[in-house]
Amino acid sequence: MADRSTVTVRPARSVRGLVRIPGDKSISHRYAMLAAIAEGTSRFHNFSAALDCYSTLGCVRAVGGEWKRADDGAIEVQGRGPRLSAPAERLDCGNSGSTMRMLSGILAGQHFESEMFGDESLSRRPMARIMAPLSQMGARIGARDGGRPPLKIRGGSLKAIHYMPEVASAQVKSCVLFAGLFAEGETIVEEPIRTRDHSELALRAFGAEVGRTGNIARIRGGQKLKAIEAHVPGDLSSAAFFLCAAALFPDSQVTLPGILMNPTRARLLDILILMGLKISVAQLEEHHGELIGAIEARGGTWRGAVISGADTAALIDEIPVLAATAPYTEDGLEVRDAKELRVKESDRIAAVATSLRKMGAEVEEFRDGLRIPGRQRLHGAELDSFGDHRIAMAFAITALRAEGETTIHGADAAGVSYPAFFEELQSVTE
Ligand code: S3P
């Protein structure tokens, strides 16, 4: 390894060992935000190490939710109740779309004006998807070019809506449900495809009543939240890199204790099992509605898959690593219905196709996905992370089975979700 922004990955013979994956990013964001508007001090063990979650904590502090790291390592957030304080400065969301989109829902219910901005990548991402429902609820919200950050929100009294988003997005659902807490009446979100339900579970953990039937979630305005003490499960989307690494070598074996098993996220495990990875899960427990289990994975054959429709939505964050390792499968991988990948931290369809081609792979790119034939031999190459954490980590895994070394520039992007990733990867590769 050179400096942190350029990393060289050498081919490996196998992947073996135990990795303690940091706390889930999605859950950590939600806990930090809800803790700020709860009554009392919340404590979170195994809070995410992701820089994105520190962006959320920074914004939370700027609106009055003081936090600190306690002696036992837990993050403690002091709740302010539903009324936050006006920030002295603009709120810096860094690289984090989750921070901007979900916090908007809470800021829309506040009687002050705030402005949120982000880095270059976040400044390109679409915000119209949350601006539309929040405006319908009565917030005044403005952005650049009709929907790119920075976002200016003039919050106030909100009214409940029945919202049917066009895109399947947990961030949009969460934004509307959080705003619903401040609205008069019952807010309903009806999703086209069911997305991850961490917000519904977190709201319940903090004491709110949230109704659920199929793809419909409902919340009554005016409910008070109470502080909680919680353990954040290990992030399954970060675990995905080690699971795909294990799949590349028949004699590999990785143990990942304390991983999130929430059924709205765990479709990844079903797909990996279908593709041939041997997975067993033990020590299942539940914490505040979230399932946790210890994963043990062993390599075997590595077949292909077709991922489309609801599977694509359920695996949206893991598709980069599945696609980046697909040339090593027996039958290849086809991904469809994934045009959302084009508006993530980078255009992930283009980033995967470009990087795979640099390593000598054949790839077909569609507007909404990719087709990657199997049984390909790749060579090491000089790659770029495109400033995207998941691209940096995905291609470190691809590099493990390439011929020759791979250099990844901008690899420090991994810190956005997993700062210790490269050290952990090195510790389990042989
Ligand atoms: C997330 C939802 C997904 C996902 C993101 C985290 C969340 O985004 O890609 O990494 O925590 O709700 P969308 O809601 O835009 O699909």
DSSP lists the bridge partners of residue 118 as: none
The residue written with tokens 């090195």 in the block is 426
75 lines ligand 1 (CB under 6 A): no
Q: Name the residue of 26, 52, 98 whose CB sits within 8 Å of the most ligand 1 atoms, as the mutation to test its pocket.
A: 98
Q: Name the residue of 169, 337, 342 whose CB sits within 8 Å of the most ligand 1 atoms, as the mutation to test its pocket.
A: 169
Q: pLDDT at position 404, please?
A: 98
Contacts of 383 (CB under 8 A, 6+ apart): 355, 358, 359, 395, 406, 407, 408, 409
Q: pLDDT at position 146, please?
A: 82
Are 199 and 24 in contact, with CB atoms under 8 Å apart?
Answer: no
Going from the Cα of 204 to the center of ligand 1, the distance in angstroms, rounded, reads 20
In tens, the pLDDT along 285-311 reads 999 999 999 999 999 999 999 999 999
Question: What amino acid is encoded at 76 in this protein?
Answer: E
312 lines ligand 1 (CB under 6 A): no
How large is the average pLDDT for residues 305-325? Answer: 98
The closest alpha carbon to 314, from 171, 201, 196, belongs to: 196
Going from the Cα of 411 to the center of ligand 1, the distance in angstroms, rounded, reads 22
95 lines ligand 1 (CB under 6 A): no
Burial of 108 (0-12, 13-18, 19+ CB in 10 A): buried
Going from the Cα of 317 to the center of ligand 1, the distance in angstroms, rounded, reads 8
Are 76 and 41 in contact, with CB atoms under 8 Å apart?
Answer: yes
238 lines ligand 1 (CB under 6 A): no
User: In percent, how much of the chain has pLDDT > 70?
Assistant: 99
User: Which of 24, 317, 384, 388 is the catalytic position?
Assistant: 317
Q: Tell whether the model's pLDDT for residue 4 goes beyond 80.
A: no
In tens, the pLDDT along 89-131 reads 999 999 999 999 999 999 999 999 999 999 999 999 999 999 9
334 lines ligand 1 (CB under 6 A): no
Positive or negative torsion for Cα 36, 37, 39, 44: negative
Q: Which helix (H) or strand (E) holds 407?
A: strand 406-409
Report which protein residue has its CA nearest ligand 1's atom 13: 169
Going from the Cα of 71 to the center of ligand 1, the distance in angstroms, rounded, reads 31
Q: Band of the pLDDT at 1, cuts 50, 70, 90?
A: very low
Going from the Cα of 158 to the center of ligand 1, the distance in angstroms, rounded, reads 25
DSSP-assigned letter for residue 328: G
317 is catalytic: yes
Instruction: Compute φ and ψ for 238, nearest 5 degrees.
Output: -75, -40
